[in-house]
Structure 1
Amino acid sequence: MSRRHWANLTTASALAIMLGCAASLAQTVTSGEAVTQPVQAVEEASPAAASQDAAVPQAVSAAEDSPAQKETAAAPELEPEIVTGTVSSAARPRNPASIDAAAPAPEAEPQAVTLDIPTIEMPAADPALAAGRPVSASVTAPAAAAGPLQATQPIVPVPEMPKVVVEVDPGLAFAADIAARAAEGVAVRRLGERERAEIVAAYQARDNKPFWIDAQGWTAAGKRIVAQLERAADDGLRPTDYALPVFEARDSAKLAEADLRLSALAVLYARDARGGRLDPRKLSKLLTPKLELPAAGEVLATLSGAGDAGAALAAYNPPHEQYRRLKAMLAQAREHLDDTPLVRIPAGPALKVGMRDDRVPLVRARLGLGPSDDAVFDRSTALALADFQKKAGLPANGILSERTVAALGRPASAQGEANIIAQMERWRWLPQDLGTDHIMVNVPEMRVRVLRAGKVVHEARAIIGKPESATPIFSHRMDHVIVNPSWYVPPSIMKKEFLPGLAADPDYAAKRGYVVTRTKGGAISVRQPPGERNALGWIKFMFPNEHAVYLHDTPNRRLFSAERRAFSHGCVRVDNPFALADQLLGPEWTTERLKSLIGKGERRINLPHPMPIHLVYNTMVVGADGKVSRFDDVYGFHRLVRQALEQQG
């Protein structure tokens, strides 16, 4: 028989024995007998046995239950113990070859079972667990484990744990009150609905936590803002416009309302400082500066993120040197009270030099002149009155008019403050950044200046618009000049002069050197070609704007010698324009080169760098030495600003 066949028979016999044992055990359990120690033993055949053409099969036997074990089965069930070790059997299987398959299986004989249980080595006991006392290293594991487990004292003391402090945002304590009072808290006079909504949105973005308060009252930033609002008068603003309500530090509702109100007042102050108190366009259609009013959210973000919130709020005022000089002048005027006696002067007809009136002694007393027995309005009285009129922003004509009588009825100090504040207000209309290099046209002074890095590098006399065709006030950027320009008659002049002339004489324009063009729709345009008689002269300086005004040359250069030079239709005529072009176009375009283009057709030349140009209305200018220069209010714009501010107060 082959070895493979013998191995197969051996395996089959082992499986038959195992199945028989399993069936026997199942019957025992079913009959209610307890199995206390089921043991199965399997021995693998060794390679040595396999080499002798006979494999040693595995033997499995189970001891029959003894009577004692049967009695135990009737007792209450106990959790069986698990015994580990090596199980060996003395029985050997019969040779499968000698087994007759037809014969009945012999009855299994009881087999002796030997358990080889190894000694269990216990690990050394933890000294900290030994009866509450330290255990030396010489104590064996069984001895250490003999006593019961008790609470022990640690050898190394437990370190002290740091205290955990949970901080709650104090602003959350005011969130509900701020949300409930937001609409009412930001309702400040002269603050628009848009700005109020932006302030409420700024609070909502931070979960309605306050900006400027805590449980004790104002924060450091809040105190600095309050202090700056209280100094509003230093910048010509009214402190009463930024008055804060009184509140109790222990009242969370009042604290929340105060925080809202301070935010609203800070926004109002910032916008006022940038020129938001007045709308220039409502005063005159010729006052069209582009105001740079900050948004409410921008103001709150700037102040809350600044190291010094008060300084950040003050920075919304103009940074220009002329504004700072006016501010110092205002402080000085307030230090010196006016001691001129206030005299009530009755109304009456206008007085001029040489006229006799009973009011003359009263006028002289109001102006601080010496007494006079003669009631004649002489030259000395007229000169003193003209000086007063200039300081008051009135036409300095020396005539005692109704407006002059009204001005004489107010203290000189109050009148002086109002004039300074009105001039400071017009500085708020200018951009905070005038440009490192820029052009400044002071219309009342009738002068043009070019400044580079804060230094005047060129200035010239100018001719401004007549009172009925005033030069507008605004800022723009000059980007090119035109040599040999054509002049297109503006609609205002066309309506007043050319259309009536053309209606009376079809050759009215041609006789004066103008070219008339009629479109198919019937519209008429009138153009004056380039030439010596051209109204723009030989050159014009362009900065396209809504008013269609610009700087240009003029053929009537003799007009520059006049002291009052309000002769144009709105544009600004410049004395010695080629010198101005030399400053703006750079070294490539010298005066000689520009003049060489005269008479050769219209030529456009772009500025290498577009330059900001500011047409301003400064009736009061303070020099570096503190000396004040005053100029006539030729268009009445100064008076309009002063009156609007007074009415607002």
Structure 2
Amino acid sequence: MKIVAIDRLLASSALGLVLMLATQPGHAQSLEEQLNTAAPLAAPIAPPSLKDLAPQAAETPTQAASTPTPVATPAPAAPEAAKADTAKAAPAVANPTANAAVTDKLREMVTGKALDRIVSRKAEHLGVEAFYKARDYAPLWVNDGAVTDRAKAAMSTLNKADEVGLDAADYPTPDFAAAKTADELADAELKLTSAVLTYARQAQVGRIHFSRVAADIEFSQTAPDPASVLDNLAKASNAAAALEDYNPPHPQFKALRAKLADLRAGKPVVDTKTEDAKPAPAVQIASGPILRPGMKDKRVADLRKRLDVPGDKDNTLYDAAVQEAVKTFQTTADLDTDGNVGPSTLRALNGTKPETKSINRASNDPIDTIIVNMERWRWLARDLGNPHVIVNVPDYRLALWNNGKVYWSTKIVAGKPGSHATPMISAEMKFITVNPTWNVPPSIIEKEYLPALQEDPQALDRIGLKVEQAADGTVRIYQPPGAANALGRIRFNFPNKFLVYQHDTPDKNLFKHEKRAYSHGCMRVENPLMYGEKLLSLALPDQKYTAAKLESMFGGSEININFPNHLWVHLTYQTAFVDDEGKLQFREDVYGRDQRMIAILKGSDRKVADIAIARPPNTSSKPVRVPVGSFGGGSYSSGPNFFEALFGGFGRPEPRPSRDVGGPRYGRDGRVVVR
């Protein structure tokens, strides 16, 4: 009977507890939930045996009063047993009291002045305020008084920042294990938030703002929105990957990252482009005199087989088909495309190792060189466009990319070091001009042509330049279209503040040089007609433009071919890159930009290097003005009024032969080598 009574008493106690909970305000649980959470009903309680009850009957009154009976003990004992049973099956429930304390402290810090001590940048300060306010100041990185897996993942990415060319020391992570109080946890929370925001910003736009490197660098950059960064990490299933995604997505950046890891691991790298890793071709071309079009030589048959020229492979005549195949090979092998098989072309055809390129890095440490090149990739847009053009100035090459691959490539001549350096920009190519007029840039008029005219009033006449003066005194010097035009027969236009573009040139001999920094900033293209054909095959595929068709348009009048969809052109400075064969390449730091950036990263300005600095406005495009009337009838006059107005009275000097005056070089045929 005692056993039955105890069993009934336990059941009635549990039911009473459920009914009591159901009537309490603030408990919105269903009856089923209440039953499941009610401690006495969590697990059936077996009736006690007589053996179990016997000792209790023998207790003294004092003992009975001080020792709980089985009726009173199930309520507190059962929850502990349930916790032990389910500890491995389900995560621990957050401690509302602990989270509430951290939340209260975060509200106090974020809305007060304490945040200024941790987050100094205004944009990030506002972003932190907005993010935490939107979540009612609930913590992102801590829960139940402990660091979360999300926080551990984010800190792992910060601690490995060196792998992506950053410095882990710039993103210090707090010691959550040492944080015991709500104040300490809230402080650690905001410190991690600050480190994460700094990483995301610098991973996306760089540790060095381009304005601190040179005045001729201009990119449109947008730092990630701080509140969006935090919201992204709060929603991400993999916080480490989400944070790392703020680094550049470009394959070239990722290739440099892999080489950086190899260098740090002590693996050997290849410094220059070599062909020694390629197997020798099956067909070798014997040495001998230079093979030229029109020649008959038994080696031509081997050449046909080596280059897989269509037709009779045993034909020994060096005809047009062979010449075109040789030119194509020379282009891909970075050789002079003369269509002849000379010593250099013969070595390349036979797979012989060519002479290595010289290396002149700003630092003896190739790791530094790779890091600053990775930094410059952060300045570029994440989406480069498809198709797009990339110019690599230190490599003196231009590449047209389509669908993630190099579609075509050619040599270029780039700007001279100093004030004529080719700038770093991204701009949209909008049209091609056949038979371009060369409008001399104001900077060249002011710095070179007016001083040249002072010494030799006939200088412009001899090189075919014309001078006009507007009513406001603005001077225009230009060269009409023609074979001797400094821009050649075709120009590729992508309007930009530095007034540079890509164009043909009558001075082809410069492409034979390995170092080709000779222009005033524009890029001279070795194979402009083929470049035009390749561009138009993507921009206007239905028009069927070819190099021959473009050449047929040569004449005395400008012809513009407009692109229906503009094509992005990116002028870059890659002194370290990975080539198509997976080899790490280095090039000369021709403009000293590596040197400047390495000095910034290792100097006292490092902490503020990502803050832009003001640069004087670019005045290279500011029109040159002289007193009105200096040019009679709107055209050039070599009379004394022009020179007296510009330079004061003096006698006109005798005309001089071809000369080099302060920059432009004049040939015997009167042509000038410019831009």
Normalised-by-shorter TM-score class: 0.5 to 0.7
Note the alpha carbon deviations across 1:537-592, whole angstroms, 9 max, x for none: 11111111111111111111121111111111000010111111111112422222
Q: Does 1:423 find its partner at 2:373? A: yes
Q: Is the Cα–Cα contact under 8 Å of residues 532 and 538 in structure 1 kept in the other structure? A: yes
**How much has 1:204 moved relative to structure 2?**
2.1
**How much has 1:321 moved relative to structure 2?**
1.6
Q: What does residue 447 of structure 1 align with?
A: 397
Q: What does residue 177 of structure 1 align with?
A: 105
**How much has 1:507 moved relative to structure 2?**
4.3
**How much has 1:170 moved relative to structure 2?**
6.9
Q: What does residue 641 of structure 2 align with?
A: none
Q: Does 1:309 find its partner at 2:239? A: yes
Q: Is the Cα–Cα contact under 8 Å of residues 490 and 503 in structure 2 kept in the other structure? A: yes
Separation of aligned partners in 1, 2:224 and 2:464: 51
Q: What does residue 428 of structure 2 align with?
A: 477
Separation of aligned partners in 2, 1:267 and 1:434: 25
Note the alpha carbon deviations across 1:304-356, whole angstroms, 9 max, x for none: 12121110100111112221221121112122299xxxxxxxxxxxxxxxxxx
Q: What does residue 141 of structure 1 align with?
A: none
Q: What does residue 582 of structure 1 align with?
A: 533
Q: What does residue 372 of structure 1 align with?
A: none
After superposition, where does 1:347-386 map in structure 2 within 5 Å?
none
When residues 320 and 181 of structure 1 are mapped into structure 2, their CA distance, relative to the original with a 3 A threshold, is same
TM-score, structure 2 as length reference: 0.59
Q: What does residue 561 of structure 2 align with?
A: 605
Instruction: Compare 500-509 and 275-284 and name the one that shifted more.
Output: 500-509
Separation of aligned partners in 2, 1:564 and 1:602: 32
Q: Is the Cα–Cα contact under 8 Å of residues 465 and 570 in structure 1 kept in the other structure? A: yes
Q: Is the Cα–Cα contact under 8 Å of residues 179 and 208 in structure 1 kept in the other structure? A: yes
**How much has 1:233 moved relative to structure 2?**
1.3
Q: What does residue 291 of structure 1 align with?
A: 221
Separation of aligned partners in 1, 2:481 and 2:356: 45
**How much has 1:641 moved relative to structure 2?**
1.4
Q: Is the Cα–Cα contact under 8 Å of residues 482 and 556 in structure 2 kept in the other structure? A: no
SS in 1 for 2:31: coil
SS in 2 for 1:274: helix
After superposition, where does 1:383-462 map in structure 2 within 5 Å?
390=359, 393-394=361-362, 415-462=365-412
SS in 2 for 1:390: coil
Separation of aligned partners in 2, 1:286 and 1:438: 21
Query: Which amino acid is the alignment partner of residue 517 of structure 1?
Result: E
**How much has 1:228 moved relative to structure 2?**
0.8
Q: Is the Cα–Cα contact under 8 Å of residues 326 and 420 in structure 1 kept in the other structure? A: yes
**How much has 1:529 moved relative to structure 2?**
0.8
Q: Does 1:207 find its partner at 2:130? A: no
Query: Which amino acid is the alignment partner of residue 589 of structure 2?
Result: D
SS in 2 for 1:200: helix
Q: What does residue 63 of structure 1 align with?
A: none
Query: Which amino acid is the alignment partner of residue 527 of structure 1?
Result: Y
After superposition, where does 1:561-580 map in structure 2 within 5 Å?
561-580=512-531
**How much has 1:619 moved relative to structure 2?**
0.6
Separation of aligned partners in 2, 1:188 and 1:387: 52
Say which of 328, 334, 354 aligns to 2:264.
Answer: 334
**How much has 1:176 moved relative to structure 2?**
2.3
Query: Which amino acid is the alignment partner of residue 151 of structure 2?
Result: G
Q: What does residue 549 of structure 1 align with?
A: 500
Q: What does residue 449 of structure 2 align with?
A: 498
**How much has 1:474 moved relative to structure 2?**
1.5
When residues 525 and 624 of structure 1 are mapped into structure 2, their CA distance, relative to the original with a 3 A threshold, is closer
Query: Which amino acid is the alignment partner of residue 416 of structure 1?
Result: P
Q: What does residue 531 of structure 1 align with?
A: 482
Q: Does 1:194 find its partner at 2:93? A: no
Q: Is the Cα–Cα contact under 8 Å of residues 145 and 185 in structure 2 kept in the other structure? A: no
**How much has 1:601 moved relative to structure 2?**
0.8
Q: Is the Cα–Cα contact under 8 Å of residues 461 and 574 in structure 1 kept in the other structure? A: yes
Q: Is the Cα–Cα contact under 8 Å of residues 484 and 601 in structure 1 kept in the other structure? A: yes
When residues 642 and 524 of structure 1 are mapped into structure 2, their CA distance, relative to the original with a 3 A threshold, is same
Q: What does residue 616 of structure 1 align with?
A: 572
Q: Is the Cα–Cα contact under 8 Å of residues 464 and 571 in structure 1 kept in the other structure? A: yes
SS in 2 for 1:541: strand
Q: What does residue 232 of structure 1 align with?
A: 161
**How much has 1:185 moved relative to structure 2?**
4.5
Instruction: Compare 503-512 and 550-559 and name the one that shifted more.
Output: 503-512
**How much has 1:501 moved relative to structure 2?**
2.8
Q: List alignment gaps of at least 5 residues for structure 1.
A: 1-156, 339-385, 395-406
Separation of aligned partners in 1, 2:406 and 2:130: 46
Say which of 580, 586, 602 aligns to 1:646.
Answer: 602
When residues 179 and 460 of structure 1 are mapped into structure 2, their CA distance, relative to the original with a 3 A threshold, is same
Q: Is the Cα–Cα contact under 8 Å of residues 185 and 258 in structure 1 kept in the other structure? A: no
SS in 2 for 1:527: strand
Separation of aligned partners in 2, 1:543 and 1:314: 33
**How much has 1:454 moved relative to structure 2?**
1.6
SS in 2 for 1:467: coil
Q: Does 1:162 find its partner at 2:32? A: yes
When residues 544 and 492 of structure 1 are mapped into structure 2, their CA distance, relative to the original with a 3 A threshold, is same
Q: Is the Cα–Cα contact under 8 Å of residues 417 and 591 in structure 2 kept in the other structure? A: yes
Note the alpha carbon deviations across 1:44-83, whole angstroms, 9 max, x for none: xxxxxxxxxxxxxxxxxxxxxxxxxxxxxxxxxxxxxxxx
Query: Which amino acid is the alignment partner of residue 577 of structure 2?
Result: V
Query: Which amino acid is the alignment partner of residue 325 of structure 1?
Result: A
Separation of aligned partners in 2, 1:578 and 1:622: 28
Say which of 280, 292, 304 aligns to 2:210.
Answer: 280
Q: What does residue 632 of structure 1 align with?
A: 588
Separation of aligned partners in 2, 1:596 and 1:458: 22
**How much has 1:425 moved relative to structure 2?**
0.9
Separation of aligned partners in 2, 1:308 and 1:634: 42
Instruction: Compare 456-465 and 621-630 and name the one that shifted more.
Output: 621-630
Separation of aligned partners in 2, 1:256 and 1:579: 63
Q: Is the Cα–Cα contact under 8 Å of residues 215 and 250 in structure 1 kept in the other structure? A: no
After superposition, where does 1:252-263 map in structure 2 within 5 Å?
252-263=182-193
Note the alpha carbon deviations across 1:354-398, whole angstroms, 9 max, x for none: xxxxxxxxxxxxxxxxxxxxxxxxxxxxxxxx999936x14xxxx
SS in 2 for 1:606: strand
Q: What does residue 25 of structure 1 align with?
A: none
Identical-residue share of aligned pairs (%)? 36
When residues 169 and 291 of structure 1 are mapped into structure 2, their CA distance, relative to the original with a 3 A threshold, is farther
Q: Is the Cα–Cα contact under 8 Å of residues 127 and 226 in structure 2 kept in the other structure? A: yes
**How much has 1:260 moved relative to structure 2?**
1.2
Separation of aligned partners in 1, 2:179 and 2:32: 34
Separation of aligned partners in 2, 1:286 and 1:591: 33
User: Considering only aligned residues, what root-mean-square deviation do their CA atoms show, in Å?
Assistant: 2.8
